[in-house]
Amino acid sequence: MTTLRVGTRESKLAIIQTDFIIGMLKKLDSSLSFEKVVIATAGDKFKKEQFSSMGVKGIFEKEIDATLMRGEIDFAVHSLKDVPSEGYSELVIGAIPKRESPNDVLVSKRGERFSEFDAGSVIGTSSPRRMIQVKHLRPDLKIKPIRGNVETRVGNVLEGDYDAIVVAEAGLKRLRLDNKISERLSLDAFAPAPGQGALAVVVQKNNRRVLKLVSNINDKKSMNEILVERRVSSKLEGGCQAPIGVIARQNGENLNVYACTFSVDGRKKISSSMVGKVTDASNLANELVSNLVKMGAEEIINEWRKESVRW
């Protein structure tokens, strides 16, 4: 019997996601067995630190991918939005299974919807992108950083530490906490991070055996959507930690892509959408970025390079 070693974070959600991938692979070949290798990441170690100290990409996957590159595991399972667009030359995303919901959702103390909060209500988020979208739509609300895993954050709301939090719907659904959702937020008002809701199976580029195996659980439609989202974000962001929302949707042979970014004070929003052929996804992403740049995206991104997060 072949045993494959799978790298994962230690959180309950990460374990659930890893078990989901293992289950898919076992359906393909019941003779396979798997060993979960739990690896602590910088994001887990410092999850209680101040928000401003966490503006570094890769904090939830770097140690796991290093373990993969050393050959100590056969593949890794990540939340795709945690995987930097500029990864490691030795590694490749071998599969993206069918994507779960990309939406953000609201979990509120008394079931309020976003438009129903009183001025001064406290909204918790660990994401600059979510923070600035809240600020843009409701500048009268107070935004407060929140740390900890998803279950802890939901508990913080129920205990009254926050009036509400904004989190990814996919995580709540996987944890079976979707009954706590007060409102699913629209993709236009709360554009997600590239790849939000999707999982990535990361493999060494030269490991043909494992690449062939995991390719069988790849969802081509999800892959097409997410690759164009990541291309838009990568080209627009240019290494900066500016909050960029982007969502792509494939309909037949066409891709509809929407992206936006915001000024540091949250007052100005720049957005654009385009439709093009799946086969021309690269040019579609380039044209969308060009439109955003013409509208002033570079100036906004330069603001974020100079400024720290303002809560």
Rounded distance between C-alpha atoms, residue 74 and residue 60, angstroms: 18
Neighbour count for residue 279 (Cβ, 10 Å) = 11
- Of all helices (H) and strands (E), which one includes residue 6? strand 3-8
Active-site entry in 44, 219, 221, 240 = 240
Rounded distance between C-alpha atoms, residue 161 and residue 151, angstroms: 14
Contact 91, 78 (CB under 8 A): no
Active-site entry in 153, 174, 180, 230 = 153
End-to-end C-alpha distance for the chain, whole angstroms: 53
- Is 260 among the residues known to form the active site? no
- Is 153 among the residues known to form the active site? yes
**What DSSP letter does each residue of 58-84 carry, written as one string?**
TTTTHHHHHHHHTTSSSEEEEEGGGS-
Active-site entry in 109, 129, 180, 231 = 129
- Is 130 among the residues known to form the active site? yes
Local structure of 19: helix, strand or coil: helix
Q: Indicate left, alpha or beta for 58 from its phi (over 0: left) and psi (-120 to 50: alpha).
A: left
- Is 110 among the residues known to form the active site? no
Active-site entry in 9, 99, 109, 130 = 130
- Is 147 among the residues known to form the active site? yes
Active-site entry in 65, 74, 82, 163 = 82
Active-site entry in 9, 81, 230, 231 = 81
Active-site entry in 62, 147, 221, 269 = 147
**Closest to 187 measured CA to CA, from 254, 118, 104, 70:** 104
Local structure of 211: helix, strand or coil: helix
Query: Among all residues, which ones are annotated catalytic?
Result: 81-82, 129-130, 147, 153, 240
